[in-house]
Structures are given as C-alpha cells and as structure tokens.
Amino acid sequence: MAVSERGPRERMVFSAAQLIRRDGVGPTGMRDVAAHAQAPRGSLQHYFPGGKEQLVNEAVAWAGRYAGNRIARFLAALPEPTPSGLFAEMVRQWTDEYETSGFAGGCPVAAATVDCAESTASTREAASAAFSTWTGSVAEALTGMGVAEERAAALATLMISSLEGAIVIARAERDVRALRTVSGELGPLLDAAVPKTVAD
C-alpha cells in the first residue's frame, strides 16, 4: 500500500505486479500501470525502454524477491519453528488478505506464467527464476529445522505447488476453504520430515 514513497520507477513496478495479479498480464495496460502508480505516462518509455515485456519481467522478479523475503520474516515470527508452522503462516498471508480485502488478487508469478509462458520467453524465465528464489528460501528454512537437504527442496516445491493451486481454487470459489484444507492436510506430512529428538 505504501505507494506514495519511493521513486516513480519502483512504484510502477509495484503497481504492475498488483494489476497483473488482479487481471492477468494481457488485460493490464501500460497506461493503467502509470495511472495506478500515480506516475507520469511519459516515464514509462524512459524507465522501461524494453516496453511492457521489461516491465512485466521486473514485476515478476520483484514478486519473487518479495515472496522469498517473507519466508525469513515468517520464520522469525514463529515462536518455535516447525515446517507446518511455516506453511500455516504462508497460507495465512492469503486467508487474511482474502477475508479482509476480498478475493481480488492472486499470485502475480502464476499469472505471468499462465499468460506468457508460451508467448514470451523472457517472462517465462523471469517466472522460473521467481519460483526458484521462493523455493530456495523455503528449502533453506526447512533445512534450518533439520530437514535433509534434498528432502527440503522437494517439500518446498510441494508447499508452493499446493499453495499456488489453492490460491487459484480459493479465488474461483471466493472461499478460503481450499487454502485451509491444504494447510491442515499437509501439516503432519511436513513435520514428519524433521528428525525426532528427545523431548524439548
């Protein structure tokens, strides 16, 4: 929401991510982005000489970094870090948004993938990179809880896959049911991956 501060360039990237996650890449126009960012339309060609493609790619990259950074913050907020607790927190970010602000937006990276994976190679690569940094953050968090490295990567992929899918279903149904379900069902499986220690 902090739109006013930061430079116009960063605001436009941020706004692009917001509009993309709401309407998809295709229907989101450059003029809309400038208006939403309260930035001059003329700045578009100045900051993004690569056109829409560049703007979309930067928005996707921004979203990937954002998601990755959230993981560390979730981890810090957990009193006792467990895989299920982390996943619950990741899911909660979405249920909270949906319950307080409505089901307007999904994941911008998923939106970019769905809209551009076949048509725009560079955007597909940006989305891949975003998923990669996100998965990396989650896997790192899991290994920090004692999960074996290979397993952590697999579980991170599982967590993000389930979350992404549940987001789509939740938006379609306008109901957080799917999000709650995946969180609840996956919890025990995730915690089972951390080796048992005596008590504590």
Residue ranges that bind DNA, judged by CB under 7 A:
8, 28-32, 39-47, 51-53
HEC-encoded secondary structure of the chain: CCCCCCCHHHHHHHHHHHHHHHHCCCCCCHHHHHHHCCCCCHHHHHHCCCHHHHHHHHHHHHHHHHHHHHHHHHHHHCCCCCHHHHHHHHHHHHHHHHHHHCCCCCCHHHHHHHHHCCCCHHHHHHHHHHHHHHHHHHHHHHHHCCCCHHHHHHHHHHHHHHHHHHHHHHHHHCCCHHHHHHHHHHHHHHHCCCCCCCCC
Q: Which option in DNA, a second copy, none does residue 97 bind, with CB closer than 5 to 8 A by kind?
A: none
Which of 124, 133, 140, 143 lies at the binding interface for a second copy (CB under 8 A)?
Answer: 124
CA separation for the pair 17, 75 (Å, rounded): 25
Q: Which option in DNA, a second copy, none does residue 147 bind, with CB closer than 5 to 8 A by kind?
A: none
Pick between residue 53 and residue 89 the one whose CB is nearest to DNA: 53
- Is 163 a binder of a second copy (CB under 8 A)? yes
- Is 127 a binder of a second copy (CB under 8 A)? yes
Which of 181, 194, 195, 197 lies at the binding interface for a second copy (CB under 8 A)?
Answer: 181
**Which span sits near a second copy by CB under 8 A: 6-14, 30-38, 81-89, 154-162?**
154-162
Least distance between a second copy and beta carbon 12 (Å) = 20
Site of interaction with a second copy (CB under 8 A)? 22-27, 103-106, 109-111, 113-119, 124, 127-128, 130-132, 154-155, 157-158, 160-166, 168-169, 171-174, 177-178, 181-182, 184-186, 189
